[in-house]
Amino acid sequence: MTQPKGYVNSEYLQVVGAFVKHLKQRSYALMQIQPGQKVLDVGCGPGTDTIPLATLIGQTGQVFGVDYDQAMVDEAEQRASKAQVADWVKHQCADSTSLPFDDNTFDACRSERVFQHLSEPERALSQMMRVTKTGGWIVVLDTDWGSLSVDTTEGDIERRLARVHAERGIQNGYSGRQLYRLFKQQGLTDVTVEVHPLLVTDYTFARQSALPDETERIALATGTVTAEELQCWRTSLEQSDSIGAFYSSVNQVIVAGRKP
């Protein structure tokens, strides 16, 4: 399959998963998980969350994960077998905008860092609402790439690159800040919103996660920065890194609400 903008592989998701473990735990708490429930993770990747959810819910419950990438689904199924939870966790290939489940199937539903890849996030949310039971919790966690900030002596270049990343590097880069409005517009009740800053001081990890080469390539190709400016930017970051002082941050937003 053609890899979409911002495609990431399962090894990368494992590293990021460990880094944002506290946010994952928070999202499970907001789902108000109880043993024996039936829950869904939309855009489940390699089972990063379906397997911990299976442990929380226990054998009397059921966990479903969907992802439109068959390789992710295969990896998730393998991991579930290895974790000995495969009897009550199932993964399947499906698009978030067309969920293959009956109405009112799940007690709770979540999606993490998926809406930023969607051109029509409102369709995914309305599908999540359709398959969730009345009163069930829906929790969506996503990045606000517009909040990316990097300490550099090249402040103007940093702003231009951050904007390219949010607007061209990612399909729906402002997704995080839009979730609260999306939930309200779709009529969810008891809606709450939380913002969690993620601090990254490891330059290598920041280049993988928030400052990818692809963003710089797009910025260069579109004339947003010149080759000389790009060189100054990289030199500035490498200088910070050389004295152990690299700093970047970006906000993660978690919104929870109940199906009316």
Ligand X SMILES: C[S@@+](CC[C@H](N)C(=O)[O-])C[C@H]1O[C@@H](n2cnc3c(N)ncnc32)[C@H](O)[C@@H]1O
Binding site for ligand X (CB under 6 A): 8, 13, 17, 43-45, 48-49, 67-69, 72, 95-96, 112-114, 117-118
For ligand X, the closer CB: 96 or 236: 96
CB neighbours of residue 42 within 10 Å: 26
Please name the residue that has the structure tokens 């000389």. 228
CB nearer to ligand X: give 62 or 143.
143
Distance in angstroms (rounded) separating the CA atoms of residues 75 and 80 = 9
Nearer to ligand X, 8 or 232 (CB): 8
How near is the Cβ of 245 to ligand X at its closest, in Å? 28
Q: Whole-angstrom Cα distance, residue 109 to residue 125?
A: 10
Of the candidates 146, 142, 144, the one whose C-alpha atom is nearest the C-alpha of residue 163 is 146
In the complex with ligand X, the residue whose CB is nearer, 71 or 221, is 71
Phi-psi region of 56 (alpha: psi -120 to 50; beta: other; left: phi over 0): alpha
The least CB distance from residue 73 to ligand X, in Å, is 9
Nearest approach in angstroms of CB 80 to ligand X is 14
Enter the tokens of residue 6. Answer: 């911002």
Q: How far is the CB of 114 from ligand X (least distance, A)?
A: 4
- Nearest residue to ligand X by CB is 45
